[in-house]
Amino acid sequence: MSLSNPTFVTFVTYIAAMILIGFLAYRATKNFDDYILGGRSLGSFVTALSAGASDMSGWLLMGLPGAVFVAGLSESWIAIGLIIGAWLNWLFVAGRLRVHTEHNHNALTLPDYFSHRFEDDSRLLRIFSALVILVFFTIYCASGVVAGARLFETTFGVPYDLALWIGAAATILYVFIGGFLAVSWTDTVQATLMIFALLLTPLFVILALGDIGAAMDTIESVKPAAFDMFSGLSFIAIVSLLAWGLGYFGQPHILVRFMAADSVSNIPNARRIGMTWMILTLAGAVAVGFFGIAYFAGHPDQAGPVSENGERVFMELTKILFNPWIAGIILSGVLAAVMSTLSAQLLVSSSALTQDFYKAFLRKGASQTELVWVGRAMVLMIAMIAIGIASNPESKVLGLVSYAWAGFGASFGPVVLFSLLWKQMTRNGALAGMLVGAVTVVVWKEFIGLGLYEIIPGFILASLAILVVSKLGPAPSASIQARFDAAEREYQQG
């Protein structure tokens, strides 16, 4: 690997810029509230783009284009489901969660919010929800570390063991130093880079093929099934793909962005920015895979890498079609996608350990400075565990990522929705919903299946558990209902 390689230079420059942002965020971090929630100071633009970037990992630039390249437009159902789910999340959850967390003792984390929302003196809600976050996010972080390592391994020929540390080090450093503000500010830069990469690449593919009509004709001749949205899919398969959108209501690394917005009045504008970004990036990712079919059909001599692994289609097209310096910038978009999600997950995991275990159970009187440094130590600890898991990229535990999204969606999603929309929800109802959602996802995935994505039965049964258990028990206290009414009034006025 030459140090003067344009791709190498742009990657190093990009990583240095992210670390610089971490140091700038460090100077703006005065207390623990700043470190894990940015002092609730994010404007609509940063709120929108940081939510989008933390959501979309390397899947957006590798997994989705690769799936469309191999199978055609039938793979885009998941993108449609995600767009619908994200829009509903912005519409029903974002503004309300911003207000309700502030009214419930200025809650800084989801477990913190659940505990105060239902006046849970037993702390069962806090413990169980924090454990769910730690288990699923440690595995998620490991998958992010693997994705980063694969990127460096593939792009620069670096051995996997070394690539593992290179890919993780920069992300760990800026999260450690700058906390939530560093994660949010870097996410905004990363989201900008991702949309630039995903809009420019398919455009250059079409230009290389002559025009869009020629590209369509080529695809029609080599893979006519690529145009069929229903090719190879049953009704259950389509419903399962669309159901990915249900997961948004329960993803802590996305929900925390709503909690950090500077004002509920900025949420509608953030929604418009966030949804525009999401629709354009998903459309770009689908277009890369779709028109990649035509490009490599016309250039079989260049198709070797994508024939071996369809997920390389975006990277290969970028290296072929662009000047090496521009290619380096665009390929940094893959690194951006990996780093943005990994950083968000590291910080949420650190927050759960610091706020919901250390402060809640060990050091109630801990100073703000102490909590910030404990939070930094927790970032390092979670990162080291994730790197340990990722050191064996074939480890079976990484397969759990396939339903970690469902686990969060089913165990937290219904609880979040009902807690924001239904005043009569109780502590026992919330606990029942979390337990039923989490257990259903695991049992369905491991023992039932039937081709149906496990988030669907998990979400439905968790919702029923919340309704039934809340109705059977005593009504929430007057103080709980009063806080709910006050938060709802502020939300309506905002």
Structure confidence by residue, pLDDT tens digits, 415-470: 999 999 999 999 999 999 999 999 999 999 988 988 899 999 999 999 999 999 99
Q: Does residue 348 carry a pLDDT above 80?
A: yes
Q: Supply the pTM of this predicted model.
A: 0.91
**Rg of the chain (C-alpha set):** 22
Q: How many CB atoms lie within 10 A of CB 1?
A: 10
42 phi and psi angles, rounded to 5 deg: -75, 130
CA dihedral angle for residue 241, residue 242, residue 248, residue 253, rounded to 10 degrees:
30
In 89-247, alpha helices (H): 95-103, 110-117, 124-156, 160-209, 212-222, 235-242
* The token pair that represents 34 in the structure block: 């700043």
Structure confidence by residue, pLDDT tens digits, 189-245: 888 888 988 999 999 999 988 888 888 988 999 899 999 999 989 999 999 999 999
**CATH numeric code, 6-493:** 1.20.1730.10
Distance CA(287)–CA(157), nearest Å, equals 28
Structure confidence by residue, pLDDT tens digits, 161-184: 888 888 788 788 888 888 888 888
Nearest to 389 by CA among 404, 402, 375, 400: 400
If one compares 89 and 340, the residue with the highest pLDDT of the two is 89
Q: Tell me which residue has tokens 């503000």.
A: 181
Burial of 263 (0-12, 13-18, 19+ CB in 10 A): middle
* pLDDT band for position 398 (cuts 50, 70, 90): low
